[in-house]
Chains A and B, each alone.
Chain A
C-alpha cells in the first residue's frame, strides 16, 4: 500500500512514490537512536592510543550513577576516554545533527535542493570572527573562556543579521533576495578572510586547520556551551515540521492554507542559523554534511518533514561521529581535516543512493 506524499520538489511529476510505510519510518528513528548509541560507544573505544574495549566499557560504566565498578585501570586511560575522546564524540554528534537539521530546514524553506546551512553567510561570518580571534595578541587568550568561538559566534550572527536586513522587502522576506544577499556578503567576507590569512604569518597553519573543520582538542566546556543552543534550535524546528511540509507548495498556496508564511520563515531561519552558528563556532566550517545528509535521508525515507527532520538529526550525528573517528585514526598522530573525510566518504555513498533510487523518483 502506498501513501501519496504531500507535493515536494522531488515528486511533482512522478507517479505515487513508494516510500516506507510510516511505521517503518518510526522504526527507522528508533533504530537510528540505537545506532547512535552504539556508534558513540564504539568510537570512544577507538583512537590513536590502543585501549582494550573492556577497559573502555568499564570506564564508561563506572560513570553511570548507581553502578559500582572498582577501578583497575590507570588514571591516564580514564583521562583519555572521559576527558579527550568522549567530549569529542559528543560534540561531533551535536554538530553533525545540527548541521544536517539546518540543511534540511534551509532546503525545505527555500524549496531548493542546493541549499546548505552556509548559504546566507553564516560560514563566512563565523570564519571572519574566528580569524580575528586567532590574530588577537596573547592577553585576549588568557581570559578563561575561548575568545575564538565567541568571536566566531558573534561574526556568524552579525553576518546573518546583515543579510536579513538587506534582503527584506517591506514586511516580507523573499527567498531570492535572501539567497542573493547571502552569497554576495559571503563573497565579501570571504575575501577579507583570505587577506587576513595571507598576512597571518606563523598562525596561518592553525587558522587554515580551523577553517577546514576539526574536532581535535574538544573539551566538555565546549560541549556545555554548544548543547543548549542546539537543543533549543532542534526542538523549535521539529515542532514546525508540519508547516514546513505545507511550505513545499508555493508560498501563496501555503498562506491560503493558513500558514503564516513570513513568521514561519523568520522562526525557522533564526533557529537554523542559531544551531549552525553554535556548531561552527567551536569546530570550524565543516562542509558537505548539511547538504548531503538531508538528501540521503529524503532518498531513503521520503520528504515528509515530520520524519525527515528527526532522521536528518540522527543520521547527521552518526555520520559525523564516524567521520571523526576515521579522521583521527587513519594517519595517527596526524589528523586529517574532517571536511576531507566528509567529502571523500559522503560523496560516493550519496552517488550510490542516487543511482539506486533515481529510477523510483525520476
Chain B
C-alpha cells in the first residue's frame, strides 16, 4: 500500500512539475505567423491573455482558457463568464493604459487594430497576435493557432474535429446541389441603410455552404449597401435578418418581415423570413458553425429538418 501511494505521489509530483515548467504536451515555443502576416515568437505558455475582439474571446473560452483571460472589450458578452472580466476597450478603440496595467503576456487583436493599436502595443513591448479569418476555414485555422500558442493544441484539435464533422454533415448534402436547387438568399445585416454581405464576407461563405445563392454575390467588399430595387429585382426566396446587435433589438427583422415594398418577393409570399442572432454568423468563433446549421435549416428545411 505504501509503495502504491508513493508511486502516486511521484507521478503527481512529476506532472505538476511539468505543468509548472511549461512542458505541457501540445506546447512548443516558436515563431508563429498571424493573419496579418506578422511573425511573432512565443517562448512560454501565456498565462495572462487579453482579447480585443468578441470573436477572440469566444475562442479563448472555447479552449478552456477562461481563467487565463484578464481583459476583454465592452462587447465581449459570450460566454457569460466573459462579462465579468475587466474591460479594456470598445469596438476599435483600446485603452492602452488599462492593457499595460493588466500585464498581459499575450494580446489577441484583429485586422481593425492594424493601423494604430498594434504598433502602439508593440512599442511598449507587448506580444500581439492578430486574427482576421476571411472564411469559415480561416476560423478553424485560428482555433488551431490559438491552441498552439497557448498550449491547448489537443483541445483545439478536438474542438475543430467536432466542428468539421458538423460542417461535413451539411456540406455532404449541399455541395453537389446544382444552381437551380440553390434558393436565392438575402442576408440583411442592417436596414438603415440596407446592408448585406458581399462575396468577401464570411457570411457569404456560410450561405454557399448551406446550399444557397447570395443575391449580393456580385457585390465586392464585405458589407456593401444594397438598394431596395436591387433586392426586389433579385427576388430572394429566403431572407435571413440579423438581430440582437448586443441590445436584443430586432428592428432589422421587423423591417424584413413587414416592409410593404417587399410584399411581393418570394420570401415574403411564402413566409420564409427568418431571424438570427447577429452575433452567431458575424463572430469568428466556434458559434459560426451554429450559424451554419441555422442557415442550412432555413435554406433547405427539407434536407435538414432535425438540426
Name A's B-contacting residues (CB within 8 A): 47-49, 76-77, 79-80, 83-85, 133-134, 138-139, 141-142, 146, 148, 198-199, 201-203, 205-206, 209, 216-217, 219, 221, 328, 332-335
Question: How long is the Cα–Cα vector from A201 to B112 in the complex, in angstroms?
Answer: 11
A-B pairs with beta carbons under 8 Å apart, 27 shown: A48-B97, A49-B98, A76-B100, A76-B101, A79-B124, A83-B123, A85-B97, A138-B37, A139-B37, A142-B36, A142-B37, A199-B224, A205-B91, A205-B112, A206-B92, A206-B115, A206-B116, A209-B92, A209-B93, A216-B94, A216-B96, A333-B89, A333-B90, A334-B89, A334-B93, A334-B95, A335-B95
Please state if B98 and A201 are interface contacts (CB–CB under 8 Å): no
Asked if B286 lies at the interface with its beta carbon under 8 angstroms from chain A, I say no
Pairs A-B, 6 closest by C-beta atoms: A333-B95, A217-B120, A49-B101, A49-B97, A217-B116, A205-B92
**B158 near A: Cβ within 8 Å?**
no
Shortest CB-to-CB span from A318 to chain B, Å, is 22
Q: B89 — nearest CB in chain A belongs to which residue?
A: A333
Partner of A84, one of B74, B87, B96, B112: B96
- Report B's interface with A, CB cutoff 8 A: 36-38, 74, 87-98, 100-101, 103, 111-112, 114-117, 119-120, 123-125, 221-225
Q: What is the interface of chain A mostly: helix, strand, loop, or mixed?
A: helix
- When distances are taken between beta carbons in the complex, the residues of chain A under 8 Å from B91 are 205
Whether B74 pairs with A334 at a CB distance below 8 angstroms is yes
Q: 19 other contacts beyond A79-B125, A217-B116, A333-B95, with CB at 8 A cut-off?
A: A76-B103, A77-B101, A79-B100, A83-B123, A133-B115, A134-B115, A138-B111, A138-B114, A141-B114, A142-B36, A142-B37, A146-B119, A148-B116, A201-B222, A205-B112, A216-B96, A219-B123, A333-B89, A335-B95
Q: Would you call A221 and B103 a contact (CB within 8 A)?
A: no
Contact of A202 with B112 in the complex, beta carbons under 8 Å: yes
Residue of B nearest to A219 (CB): B123
- Taking CB as reference atom, which chain A residue is nearest B93? A335
Residues of chain A within 8 A (CB-CB) of B124 are: 79, 83-84
Report chain B residues within 8 Å CB of A202: 111-112, 222-223
Cβ contacts under 8 Å, A328 to chain B:
95
Q: Which A residues lie within 8 Å of B37 (CB)?
A: 138-139, 142
* B224-A217 in contact (CB<8A): no
Per the bound structure, the CA–CA distance linking A47 and B94 in Å amounts to 14
Task: For the complex, give the distance between the alpha carbons of A113 and B89 in Å.
Answer: 40
Specify the chain A residue showing the minimal Cβ separation from B121. Answer: A217
Q: Does B112 contact A198, Cβ atoms closer than 8 Å?
A: no
Asked if B95 contacts A48 (CB within 8 A), the reply is: yes
List chain A residues, Cβ under 8 A from B125: 79
Contact check, A216 vs B93: say whether CB atoms are below 8 A apart.
yes
Residues of A within 8 A of B87 (CB): 333
B114 touches A334 (CB 8 A): no
User: Please, which residues of chain B bring their CB within 8 A of the CB of A219?
Assistant: 119-120, 123
Measured between alpha carbons, how far is A77 from B223 in the docked complex, in Å? Answer: 41
Q: How far is the CA of A162 from the CA of B94 in the complex (A)?
A: 37
**Residues on the B chain within 8 Å of A85, using CB:** 97
Contact B97 A217 (CB under 8 A): no
When distances are taken between beta carbons in the complex, the residues of chain A under 8 Å from B224 are: 199, 201
Set A84, A138, A333, A334: member contacting B36, Cβ < 8 A = A138
CB distance from A149 to the nearest CB of B (A): 10
Residues of A close to B123: CB separation below 8 A:
83, 219, 221
Instruction: State how many angstroms separate the Cβ of B77 from the closest Cβ of chain A.
Output: 16
Contact of A334 with B90 at beta-carbon distance under 8 Å, contacts A138-B114, A202-B223, A221-B123 already known = yes
Residues of A within 8 A of B38 (CB): 142
Pick from B90, B98, B116: contact of A48, CB under 8 Å: B98
Of A139, A203, A332, A333, the contact of B112 (CB 8 Å cutoff): A203
Distance in angstroms between the alpha carbons of A85 and B101 in the assembled complex = 13
Contacts of A334 in B (CB 8 A): 74, 89-90, 93, 95
Min distance, Cβ A206 to any Cβ of chain B, angstroms = 5
Q: Chain A nearest CB: distance from B60 CB in Å? A: 19
Chain B residues near A77: list those with CB within 8 A: 101
Bound complex: CA A85 to CA B100 (Å): 12
Contacts of B103 in A (CB 8 A): 76
- The minimal Cβ–Cβ distance linking A89 to chain B, given in whole angstroms, is 13
Given contacts A138-B36, A142-B37, contact A84 B114 (CB under 8 A): no
Inter-chain CA distance A79–B116, complex, in Å, is 18
Nearest residue in A to B111 (C-beta to C-beta)? A202
Cα of A198 to Cα of B37 in the assembled complex, Å: 27
Quick check: A217 and B222 within 8 Å, CB to CB? no
Taken together as a complex, chains A and B put the C-alpha atoms of A218 and B91 apart, in Å, by 18
* Chain B proximity of A357: nearest CB distance (Å): 39
**Cβ–Cβ < 8 Å partners of A76 in chain B:** 100-101, 103
Residues of B near A217 (CB, < 8 A) are 94, 96, 116-117, 120
Question: In the assembled complex, which residues on chain A have CB atoms less than 8 Å from the CB atom of B95?
Answer: 48, 328, 332-335
User: B87 to nearest A CB, angstroms?
Assistant: 6
Of B98, B112, B115, most buried by chain A (CB within 10 Å of CB) is B115
What residues of A have a CB within 8 angstroms of the CB of B115 in the complex?
Answer: 133-134, 141, 148, 206
Chain A residues with Cβ under 8 A from B96's Cβ?
Answer: 84, 216-217
Nearest residue (CB) in B for A216 is B93
Expressed in whole angstroms, the Cα–Cα distance for A206 and B224 within the complex equals: 17
Separation in Å of the B243 CB from the closest CB of chain A?
A: 20
Q: From residue A184, how far is it (CB to closest CB) to chain B in Å?
A: 28
State how many angstroms separate the Cβ of B113 from the closest Cβ of chain A: 8
- Taking CB atoms, residues of chain B closer than 8 Å to A216 are 93-94, 96, 116
Max chain A C-beta neighbours (<10 A), residue from B94, B95, B123: B95
How far apart sit A148 and B119, CA to CA, in the bound complex (Å)? Answer: 12
Partner of A201, one of B114, B117, B223: B223
Query: Residues of A contacting B94 with CB < 8 Å?
Result: 216-217
CA distance in complex: A335, B98 (Å)? 12
